[in-house]
Amino acid sequence: MSDLGHVLVLAGGLSYEREVSLRSGRRVSEVLRAAGVDVEARDTDASLVPSMLADPPEAVFVTLHGGAGEDGAIRSILELLNVPYVGADPDACRVAFDKPTAKAVVRSVGLHTPESVTLPKETFHDLGATVVLGRIVERLGLPLFVKPARGGSALGASIVRTAEELPAAMVGCFAYGDTALIERYVEGVEVAVSVVDVGNGPEALPAVEIVPDEGVYDYAARYTAGHTEFFAPARLSPQAAAACAETAVTAHTALGLRDISRTDLIVDATGIPHFLEVNVAPGMTETSLLPMAAEAAGQDLGDLCRALLQNAAARFHP
């Protein structure tokens, strides 16, 4: 049995990624119970704070995706309540959740990241969409990748291979956020590298290679079994695998993250990894990448989640 007391798994919320979050929460709850932990799964509703005040948990595992789960808001509440939790603090979350800001930070420490333009919806409309989009294509070239500057699960994201496809991609992006990030698309191997720290410093788990059936790792490819082929560890040269691990740990450290993160990369034909974004509350579903990476490393997911909770509790009560 675990030496942890009562713990909470937070899942659900009101973001576009609610259903994925609920699946992550169920998976984490199941593996923790199997590891002997006393777990309660809770949504973020009006009863949450009174419940934690009446019966403070020993630690909280946040599996909220998008919105309040990753922008630091719920973690600010947990800090107000003096409740330990797994993951980055509110300030680090705010930096990492905003993709253009995260790209600027990792670029400042020497990591490669695709050249990009950040465009708020108001600017897009006020300055004339046609002219602005034309200049973007001239500046960045084709193909491009368009995605919301905040959020995850590839909602509102698309590849643009011709200039004619760009307006529709922007409309689709703005359906999920008020600011678009338009990046130069880097051809290569798509991988995700999870970083965990249970008290001995951040360590990269094996990279997971992502090969979607339709060529695009969109929402359906991420969360529908059989739509994407995964290789864990990724089919990379030892040198490229080491570079990916170093990139993920460097990003994790530069962004001030802790406990757990997942960095998404493209490895180009020369073996250089290019930083795309980082996730401070990685998916934990049956098709998610961190659990695959843990398995590839020979780690039991329940034991890992329990160790993360123990480390969080020790941080508040050393």
CATH number at residue 27: 3.40.50.20
Residue 288 known to be catalytic: yes
Query: How many domains are contained in the chain?
Result: 3
Has residue 109 been placed in a domain? no
Please pick, among 17, 70, 183, 190, the residue that the annotation labels catalytic.
17
Has residue 103 been placed in a domain? no
Domain identity same for 62 and 149? no
What is the reported pLDDT for 1? 39
Query: What is the separation, in whole angstroms, between the first and last Cα of the chain?
Result: 21
Domain identity same for 121 and 29? no
pTM of the model: 0.93
Please give the backbone phi and psi of residue 198, each rounded to the nearest 5 degrees, phi first. -105, 20
Please pick, among 15, 24, 153, 261, the residue that the annotation labels catalytic.
153
What is the reported pLDDT for 23? 95
Phi-psi region at 148: left, alpha or beta (left = phi > 0; alpha = psi -120 to 50): beta
Domain identity same for 75 and 142? no
DSSP labels, 267-308: E-TTS-EEEEEEESS---STT-HHHHHHHHTT--HHHHHHHH
- Pairwise CA distance, residues 316 & 82, whole Å: 8
Residue 209 known to be catalytic: no
pLDDT along the chain (318 residues), means of 10: 83 87 96 97 94 96 87 94 96 96 98 96 74 92 94 81 94 92 96 97 97 70 72 98 98 98 97 97 92 97 97 85
Domain identity same for 212 and 294? yes
**Annotated binding-site members:** 264, 277, 279
Q: Which two tokens stand for residue 83?
A: 């409740």
Domain identity same for 248 and 232? yes
Domain identity same for 147 and 70? no
Has residue 111 been placed in a domain? no
Domain identity same for 287 and 206? yes
**Annotated binding-site members for Mg(2+):** 264, 277, 279
Domain identity same for 78 and 49? yes
What is the reported pLDDT for 225? 64
Domain identity same for 29 and 84? yes
Has residue 108 been placed in a domain? no
Residue 17 known to be catalytic: yes
Please pick, among 2, 15, 24, 288, the residue that the annotation labels catalytic.
288
For 222, residues 6+ apart whose C-beta sits below 8 A from its C-beta are 153, 154, 228, 283, 287
For residue 176, the enclosing domain spans 116-184
